Amino acid sequence: VALFTRYTLQNTSDYPLLCTASGQKPLPAFEIGKDNINLPPQNGCILPSMSMSSWFTKSNKLRISLHDEKGSEAFIDLEALSGFTEFFLEIHDDIFPHRMAAFGMSLQPVIYGLHVSSQVVLIVPRYVISNESATAVAVRQCLVQDDIDGLTIEAKQRGTLQTWKPGKKREGNYFDLFLKKHKNVSEDSLIFIQFCPKETGYGWSGPICVSSIGRFFMKFRRSEDMVIDGINKDTLQDGKLKQFASVDVVQENTSFVLHFTKPPKVALPYRVENCLNKASIMYFQKDSDESDMLGPQESEQYAWDDSSLPRKLVVRIVDTPALREIKIDKISPWKPFLKMRSRLNLDFSFSNGLSSEKQGFDDSFELRVFKIGYEVYADGLTRVLRICEQAENPKAEKIQRPIAHAQFRISYMCIHLLDKGQSDEMLQSPSTILMATFQRVSADSVITDRHKNMDVAVYSVNVDEKWDGASFGSVFRMNKLQGDALNENILRIVCVLNSSNSSVKQVHYCSIILQQPIDLKVDEETLMKLVPFWRTSLAPAGTPSTQFYFRQFEVHPIKIIASFRPGRSQTSYSSSQEALRALLHSVIKVPEISNSVVELNGVLLNHALVTFRELFLKCAQHYSWYVLRAIYVTKGSSLLPPSFASMFDDSASSVLDVFFDPSDGSLNLPGLTIGMFKFISKNMKSGGTKRYLGDLGKTVKTASSNALFAAITEVSDSVVKGAETNGLNGMVTGFHRGMLRLAMEPSVLGQAIMEGGPDRKIKLDHSPGLDELYIEGYLQAMLDVMYKQEYLRVRVIDDLVFLKNLPPNSALINEIVENVKGFLVSKALLKGDASTVRSWRRLRNEPEWKIAPTVLTLCEHLFVSFAVRLLHREATKAIAEVTTKVKGQLTGGEDEGKSSSGGGALVKRSRLWTVGRFAASGVVAYVDGRLCRHIPNPIARRIVSGFLLSFIDRRDDE
């Protein structure tokens, strides 16, 4: 009789661990002492290094801590664990910064003759160093152990990397700061290490990220003191002043294993060739203090001194001012070494202590320097920088090919996948497992003398289940609910190849776009029927993979609405099918999924030199991580699969790992429409990998909408206020004031871009008490419905209401605050009269702002102001003419009598005119009120009212 517990814990790390139930009280110190390795089963278990123990406790939630050292604790829910995860324990001691113990955890099925519902919880060290060279090597963590010798690993041995809590965060630009909520949560805690051979005089290498999967090369230089102490110049020719090594970072189970090899077993990634006859060159990495010299007609292999510095090589022709920065990751044809600006400013006097006689330059070298150039080509997986003259350039290719154009169209195509397990007798009426239909498949190809352009588009792809008893009718098809553009193709592949005779195929541009969200419905029984068709490769064993250079390679993000239905085990399953079933149920534990949204990040590679097999495997591993992450999210687990920093840093100059809605892949701004990939890559100031989680396109468009909203509303509010107060002149003045405010206060746009505007605080007269959550939730829902501001947040704490990330507009802020105060007054939390609260202006389903009403209002103000001014001017002219005629008739016979009148008559007349004008203004106002009541048109009513009231207003010029 064999008895199994549901879980068996296995510890293969160097640390003894204490595992107890998460809800259990801490055990007494005497019970978990260092010498005690046995615990009662109901209390948990102590796992020494390289040991196993059964888990007898009913609880599935573990609390893991170090047994013999004080430190933090980790809580793991075994039911929520799907496949793999990682956790860290901080060691609390007197050493600062604190040490960190990193672990990886995975579920393994129990290997037994029969299927048993038991699993092995395997705990392994997260980072492992494997020294595969013939000498010992020292390892230390960057920015933490700069003054420490580090960990020594002997030849042909393995060791667990001891990490320290990072004290410095990774620097980022303003674009990264803006997208900080989408950044990978572990990006700021990436661990970089350095290597140093245990040989006299060699220094430390450049930093290597322990979670970047790939092959990286490093360089060790002998210190200058050792060179001065007795090493002759012949040592330089023997290559003893520097050594090279490679580090292969691979993921084994949940551990990152760094295989250190010195010297490397493969060619270095770069080679520098100096094909000049008489001139030597000096080259160094940009911002690096180390340089190398290369004589005429010599070549040398090269690797970066520091991968964190810019990946640019600065090359200078010795004893000349000729200097050039070269991106050697970028394959390029022959180019002049000197740019046009450098040619105009070049001085060939060789003053400042330099003499052309040092290298034996003749007089013609000053002219031949204009013919010196460089090219970068691929020799296998090695990029070669060649410095040569144009006439001696054997790699230059002059390809003359005729121009051709080809078109290929398929209106309908159907593929049936037949059951492989059927016998020969049944092949007359075979059974179909899946049927794939393709509609409107088009392929266009244009060949020129430099490029081969290909464009493949598929309008519709449907994969249906056809075997008896299938759970789903369709496996793969476009999602009709979220597919916006029904006339667009579901799949498009664009590829531009350079015409070259090189063994490395050069791809100028390659883009794979799944333009619409898709429905993916899979059941377990269908997967089991597909297992017999699986094989690793169709090529014969040992066939080398095709090598590609991608100037730009992009796979756009994929949005999937996924469903999965598990099945039952059958006795007819083969060993491969049982292995797949164990992976689904015992390791990953995939639940039943119904219409769950899965977002797979896209990949953008620049200047990547890879083989087809390597590219395919890395993309598969990349997407498998996001699929596993989606399973965690679907299960509602707080855990995440063990993350990685990058998979392409070893083969590409820059990598972008990002998601945006594939059905709306362009960024649309006023006067600007560019691809989302291009927009984000333009804001990446440095190379390396940038990873963003979540819908980045929505955030960028929301921020641009907020910025545009802030600019238009600030300007339009000022224009409308000016037009209302002073007509056309006020409108112009208001426009100037709005633009001046945007110029003088750039924080208005800055706050709009950085997810909202300022904050406001309202102090309550009465505390809500137990109704805090109700008041907070109601206010949040009310503002979300009314204003549609994504980042607007409400918090209620005691007697304070906090409004955070308000929209960047003063008028809208005041309106939001008034509406919140009105609700608080209605709930008797704030003193005031609810009847005086300003009515809500924004209703449900109204957009955030409308440009058409704003323009219409401005036009109305302009028309009314122009009409009032015109009528007032014509009326003034008419009144003046009538007044002049009347005065002419009256003054003819009264000039003699007026000469004798006194000053008292003038004062009396002035008083009478003032009283009369006051009475007349009252009559005009009354007439205006009575008249406007009977005018239905609001614009005509405003014109009549403005015209009448213009005679009452006292102007400054009068």
Share of the chain above pLDDT 70, in %: 70
Torsion of the alpha carbons at 746, 751, 757 and 758, rounded to the nearest 10: -70
- State which amino acid sits at residue 263: P
82-119 pLDDT tens trace:
888 899 998 887 777 778 899 999 988 887 666 677 88
Highest mean pLDDT among 34-43, 480-489, 510-519: 510-519
The whole-number pLDDT of residue 562 equals 92
Question: Does pLDDT of 808 surpass 90?
Answer: no
Has residue 886 got a pLDDT over 50? yes
Q: How many CB atoms lie within 10 A of CB 401?
A: 11
- Tell me what the mean pLDDT of segment 326-336 comes to: 91
Rounded distance between C-alpha atoms, residue 667 and residue 692, angstroms: 17
Distance CA 775, CA 829 (A): 10
The band of 954, judged by pLDDT with boundaries at 50, 70 and 90, is very low
Say what the pLDDT of residue 678 is: 76
* Per-position DSSP letters for 337-386, written without gaps between them: SS-HHHHHH---S--TT--GGGGT--TTHHHHGGGEEEEEEEETTEEEEE
Amino acid identity at 427: L
Mean pLDDT is highest, among 79-93, 137-151, 672-686, 796-810, for 79-93
- For residue range 4-35, list pLDDT tens digits in order: 888 999 999 999 999 999 888 877 765 666 66
CB within 8 A of 222, min separation 6: which ones? Answer: 201, 202, 203, 231, 240, 241, 242
Whether the per-residue pLDDT at 900 is higher than 60: the answer is: no
- 820-875: per-residue pLDDT in tens? 998 888 888 888 765 554 444 433 334 444 566 667 777 777 787 788 888 888 88
Instruction: Give the per-residue pLDDT at 146.
Output: 62
**Residue with more model confidence, 375 or 643:** 375
Among 119-133, 168-182, 319-333, 524-538, the least confident range? 168-182
**What is the DSSP code string of 43-69?**
G-EEE-TTEEEEE--S--EEEEEESSS
Q: Evaluate if residue 538 carries a pLDDT over 70.
A: no
Beta-sheet pairing, 127-131 with 255-261: parallel
Residue spans of the domains in the chain: they are: 7-25+38-125, 130-167+189-224+240-339+368-389, 400-419+430-531+545-664, 760-827, 921-957
User: Picking from 171-180, 476-485, 500-509, 762-771, which range would have the lowest pLDDT averaged per residue?
Assistant: 171-180
Above 80 in pLDDT, residue 134? yes
* Mean per-residue pLDDT over the chain, rounded: 78
The pLDDT of residue 40 is: 82
3-class DSSP state of 522: strand
What confidence tens digit (pLDDT) does each residue in 612-664 have? 989 998 999 888 888 888 888 888 777 778 878 888 888 888 888 888 887 76
pLDDT of residue 844: 35
Parallel, antiparallel or unpaired: strands 208-209 and 214-221: unpaired
- 120-145 burial, b at 16+ Cβ within 10 Å, e below that, comes to bbbbbbbbbbbbbbeeebbbbbbebb
Between 499 and 383, name the one with better pLDDT: 383
Instruction: Yes or no: say if 21 and 47 are a contact pair by the CB < 8 Å rule.
Output: no
Element containing residue 623 per DSSP (H, E): helix 612-635
Residue 349 pLDDT greater than 50, yes or no? no
In the numeric block, the tokens 């060789």 are attached to: 350
- CA max distance for the chain: 143
110: Cα within 13 Å, side-chain hemisphere: 19
Average pLDDT of span 215-241: 64
Query: CA-to-CA distance for 433 and 890, rounded, in angstroms?
Result: 113
On the question of pLDDT at 708 being above 60, the answer is no
Q: Which two tokens stand for residue 741?
A: 């405010």
Q: What is the mean pLDDT of residues 55-82?
A: 88
Compute the average pLDDT of residues 61-74. 88
Non-local (6+) Cβ contacts of 234 within 8 A are: none
User: Does the pLDDT at position 893 exceed 80?
Assistant: no
For residue 154, what pLDDT band results from cuts at 50, 70 and 90? very high
How much is the average pLDDT of 507-519? 91
Query: Residues of 423-454 as b/e, b for ≥16 C-beta within 10 angstroms?
Result: eeeeeeeeeebbeeebeebbeeeebeeeebbb
Strands 547-555 and 505-514, sheet pairing: parallel
Separation CA 466–CA 649 (nearest Å): 43
d(CA 430, CA 761): 73
Interval 556-584 mean pLDDT: 87
Highest mean pLDDT among 549-553, 719-723, 848-852: 549-553
Highest mean pLDDT among 34-43, 126-135, 139-148, 637-646: 126-135
